[in-house]
Amino acid sequence: MTEKTFSLHGAGDMDTQTLEINIGPQHPSTHGVFRMNVVLDGETIVSLKPVMGYLHRNHEQIAENMSYTGSMPYTDRLDYFNSMSNNFGYAMAVEKLANIEVPERAHYIRIIMAELTRLVNHVSVIGFLLNDLGAFFTPVLYAFREREKILDIFEEVAGARMMCNYLRFGGVKYDLSPEVLARIAGILKKFPKFLEEFETLLTKNEILCMRCQNVGVLPAELAVSASVTGPMLRASGVNYDIRKADNYSLYERFKFRVPLGQKGDVYDRYYVRILEMRESLKILEQAVKEIPAGDIMSKKMVPFLKSPRNFKPPVGEAYARVEAPKGELGYYVVSDGTAQPWRYHVRAPSFINLTILEDLCIGQKVADAIIILGSVDIVLGELDR
Amino acid sequence: MAFSPNASQVDDGLKSELAKKGIVVTTLNQLYNWGRRSSIWPMQFGLACCAIEMIATACARYDIARFGAELFRPSPRQSDLMIVAGTVTKKMAPQVVRLYNQMAEPKYVITMGACSIAGGPFIDGYNVLRGIDRYIPIDVHLPGCPPRPEALLYGLMELQRKIDGQEIETTEWYQKGLKREYPIPDFGPHGLIPKFNPEVWNPRETENRKERYGEPILIGRKDKAPNLDLPPAPPRSAAPAPAAPPPEPAS
C-alpha cells in the first residue's frame, strides 16, 4: 500500500476539526445499499471506510443446500444487470467438474448472450456514472432506451427480461430462431449510431473532461497487487483480458482487440467501456454470421433437464472464470459425489475491485468520491452475495 | 380490501348540463383525492434487483410520468410512497423502518418483488427478513421476481384506486392521536429484536405447513468433506486398459 498524504489548503495555523459523515445506505448515488464512513477535512477526504453486508443474502449457503441446476437461477441475482454472464461462469465451472462437452452451436449462443450483456452493462454503467456527475437521469434515459431493445431479445429467447436463467450444464435451454438472429443483426446495425450519438454528447464534453480527468488515478502496480480486474484494470494500462488469456469457450475464433487506458483515471474507465462496447459489437457480428447449425445441448446432459436432482458430478473441485462485464467472475465448486455441492464460492469482481476504493479517494473532494465509486461499477447483489 | 367508489351524489344529467356552461360540479373528497393520487412522489430507494426494474419503469418506454409519479425524491421527508424494491436483509430492516418513520403523512408503501413480501427465493437465508410487513403496514403487495415494469404500473394504479376511496373526514392522518411511527428493531447478534411488530403482523396460530406442502425434500446429507487428494475415478465408459505385453523370451 502506498503512503497516503494530503494537505490542508489555506488552513495556516488554525485548528481544524475533522468531520465524520455517513454516506448511505439510503443514498441516491451509492448504487444500492452500500455505506461509506467518510472522515472529511473541509471537503477533502481523510479516510473512507466501506461498510458492506446490507444485501448479504446467503447465496453460497443456499447453493450448498440445493441441486446443481437449482442454483442456476440464483446466479442470475448475483449481478442483476447481466444474468447471462453469471450463468456462463457457473455452467463452465460445473462442466469442468463433470467433464461435459458443449456443442459448438451452444458455445456460439453463449458468446452472443455474454456480449449482449456486456453492451447492456456498460451502457447502463455510463448512464449511472453521469447520473453521479450531476447530469440527473438524462443519460440514463438514453442508456435504458438501448437496454430495453436488448432485453426484448433476452425475453424472446429465454422468457424473462432480467433474470434469464438460460444456460444449462452442457448447453443452453432454448434454441435461437433465425428471426431472433435477424433481430440481433438489426440491433448491431443500429447500435453504432447510438454509440456515436452518446459519444458526441459525452466524450469531448468539457464538463465531463474537467470532472473526470486526473480524478481517482489508479496506478497499474496497485491495480495488479490488489487483483483488480476488468475494465478498471485495463483502464490502468494492464493488458489482461480473460477472453484472451484463457481462451475459454470459443473466444479464440473471434477477432477483437483489448482497449487499454493510459492514466487509469475516471475518464479512462469511462472511455475503455465505450471502446469495449465497440469490440463487443465486432464479436457479435462475427458470431451472428458464423453460427453453425446443430445441437444446443450435449446428449449426456439432456436427461438431467427433467430430473436435475439425479445429476451427481464425481468427487473433485473445479474453478472456472469468465470475463464478466465487471471483471473476473469465478466460481469454485467442490463436489462430494452427491447431488449438492460440498462447497460453492463466488469470486465476485465488484467486491475485489472495491477494495482499493480508499486508496483512490484519499485526498480527493467528497464529490469526486461519488464519481470514483460510480466508475468502479459495483453491484451490491454481487458484492455482498 | 374493499374500495368504496367515493361516487358523487350529484345527478349525472345535471352535471352534464352544467358542464356545457363551463361549470364543474364535484365533491371536495373527489377533488382532494384527484390531486393526491395524481402526484404521488416515490422515494428513490432501491434495495436490490427490483430497483433496476423500478428505474426501467421511470425511463422512456414505460414512463411512470404518465401516472404523475415520476419525481423520485431521495429524501423521505419529501416523498409520499416508499417502493420497497428488493430483498430486505436483517441488517437493512432497521433502516427501512426508520425511513418509513421519517416520511410525512399521508404515506403509502408498495412492496415490490417476492423478497420484500415474504423473503422470496432467499427465504432460507439466515440473514433475510421474511417480509417487511412484519414491521410496517403495506398498502400494495406486488409479486414477481422481479415484477415487470407493467406490474409496477398496475400496482401504482391499485394504489390510486385505494386513494380514491379515502375521505377527508375519516382518514387516519387527520384524526387525533394518530401514531404511525413504528418501533425500530435492533440488529442483534442473533437477528432482529423484536422479531416482529405485533401491531401490524402476528404469526399464524396454526402451523399447517406440513399439510400444505408436505415433508421438506432432503436431497443429500453432508457428513464429511470429500477427499480431493484421491485420483479422479476413471470414466465409466472407458475402454479396458490394454494388457501388458508378454515378456520377451530371454535369448
CA atoms within 13 A on the CB side of A71: 28
Report residue B250's pLDDT band, with 50, 70 and 90 as the boundaries: low
Report pLDDT digits (tens) over B64-110. 999 988 888 888 999 999 999 889 999 889 999 999 999 988 899 99
Mean pLDDT for the stretch of residues B217-241: 62
Report residue B238's pLDDT band, with 50, 70 and 90 as the boundaries: very low
Select the more confidently predicted residue: A56 or B1.
A56
Using the predicted structure, report yes or no on whether residue B157 has a pLDDT greater than 70.
Answer: yes
Q: B79 touching A, CB under 8 A?
A: no
Interface test with A, best of B130, B132, B219, B229 (most A CBs within 10 A): B219
Residue with cell 468427487: A315
Report residue B208's pLDDT band, with 50, 70 and 90 as the boundaries: confident
Report residue B220's pLDDT band, with 50, 70 and 90 as the boundaries: low
Contacting residues of B for A317, CB less than 8 Å apart: 228
Distances (CA, A) of A246 to A104, A320, A321: 18, 10, 9
Expressed in percent and rounded to 5, the helix, strand and coil fractions of chain A are: 50, 15, 35
Report residue A184's pLDDT band, with 50, 70 and 90 as the boundaries: very high
Please state, in angstroms and rounded to a whole number, the distance separating the CA atoms of residues A75 and A165: 8
Q: In terms of CA atoms, which chain A residue is nearest residue B84? A: A26
* Helices A178-202/A266-290 angle, 10° precision: 160
**Interface predicted TM-score (ipTM) over 0.90:** no
> Identity (one letter) of the amino acid at B212?
R
Using the predicted structure, report yes or no on whether residue B224 has a pLDDT greater than 80.
Answer: no
Report pLDDT digits (tens) over A86-144. 999 999 999 998 888 899 999 999 999 999 999 999 999 998 888 888 888 888 898 99
Q: In terms of CA atoms, which chain A residue is nearest residue B85? A: A32
CA dihedral angle for residue B228, residue B229, residue B230, residue B233, rounded to 10 degrees = 50
Report residue B216's pLDDT band, with 50, 70 and 90 as the boundaries: low
Residue B11: predicted pLDDT:
80
Helix or strand holding residue A191 (H, E): helix A178-202
Does B233 sit within 8 Å of A314, measured CB to CB?
yes
Would you tell me which residues 90-109 of chain B have a C-beta closer than 8 angstroms to some C-beta of chain A? 91-92, 95, 99
Does A53 sit within 8 Å of B91, measured CB to CB?
yes
Kindly report the average pLDDT of chain B as a whole number. 82
pTM of this prediction? Answer: 0.86
Residue B204: predicted pLDDT:
79
Residue B131: predicted pLDDT:
87
Residue B154: predicted pLDDT:
93
- Of A58, A77, A380, which is closest to B127 when you measure between CB atoms? A58
Size of interface A-B (CB pairs under 8 A): 127
Report pLDDT digits (tens) over A313-329. 888 889 999 999 999 99
Contacts of B41 (CB under 8 A, 6+ apart): B69, B71, B72, B73, B78, B79, B80, B81
Lowest mean pLDDT, pick from A103-117, A221-235, B24-38: B24-38
Select the more confidently predicted residue: B217 or A159.
A159
Residue A53: predicted pLDDT:
86
Using the predicted structure, report yes or no on whether residue A4 has a pLDDT greater than 70.
Answer: no
Does B124 sit within 8 Å of A315, measured CB to CB?
no
Contacting residues of A for B44, CB less than 8 Å apart: 28
- Give just the sign of the alpha carbon dihedral A56, A59, A60, A64: positive
Cα distance from B239 to chain A (closest Cα, Å)?
Answer: 17
Kindly report the average pLDDT of chain A as a whole number. 88
Mean pLDDT for the stretch of residues A50-69: 88
Report residue A14's pLDDT band, with 50, 70 and 90 as the boundaries: low
Report pLDDT digits (tens) over B11-28. 888 888 888 988 888 888
Residue B2: predicted pLDDT:
53
Whether the bond into B203 is cis, omega within 30 of 0: no
Residue A7: predicted pLDDT:
57
Contacts of A97 (CB under 8 A, 6+ apart): A313, A314, A316, A317, A318, A333, A335
Residue A1: predicted pLDDT:
47
Interface test with A, best of B44, B54, B59, B72 (most A CBs within 10 A): B59
Does A316 sit within 8 Å of B232, measured CB to CB?
yes
Residue A331: predicted pLDDT:
93
Residue A120: predicted pLDDT:
92
Q: In terms of CA atoms, which chain A residue is nearest residue B127? A: A57
Return the percentage of chain B with pLDDT > 70, whole number: 84
Please state, in angstroms and rounded to a whole number, the distance separating the CA atoms of residues B89 and B131: 10
Cβ–Cβ under 8 Å, residues A383 and A52: yes
Does A53 sit within 8 Å of B49, measured CB to CB?
no
Using the predicted structure, report yes or no on whether residue B171 has a pLDDT greater than 60.
Answer: yes
Contacts of A212 (CB under 8 A, 6+ apart): A133, A265, A266, A267, A270, A371, A375
Mean pLDDT for the stretch of residues A182-190: 92
Does A57 sit within 8 Å of B127, measured CB to CB?
yes
Return the percentage of chain A with pLDDT > 90, whole number: 38
Contacting residues of B for A335, CB less than 8 Å apart: 226
DSSP string, chain B: -PPP-----S-HHHHHHHHHTT-----HHHHHHHHHHTT--BB--B-SHHHHHHHHHHSTTT-GGGGT----BSSGGG-SEEEEES--BTTTHHHHHHHHHHSPSS-EEEEESHHHHH-GGGTT-TTB-S-GGGTS--SEEE-SSSPPHHHHHHHHHHHHHHHHT--TTT-GGGSTT----PPPPEEETTEEESSS-TTT----SS--HHHHH-SPP------S---TTSPPPPPTTPPPPPPPPPPPPP-
Select the more confidently predicted residue: A33 or B7.
A33
Using the predicted structure, report yes or no on whether residue A306 has a pLDDT greater than 90.
Answer: no
Output phi, psi for B241, to 5 deg: -65, 140
Report pLDDT digits (tens) over A331-383. 999 988 888 888 899 999 999 998 998 888 888 888 888 889 888 888 888 88
Does A32 sit within 8 Å of B47, measured CB to CB?
yes
Q: B42 touching A, CB under 8 A?
A: no
Report pLDDT digits (tens) over B177-204. 777 888 898 888 888 888 888 888 888 7
Residue A320: predicted pLDDT:
92
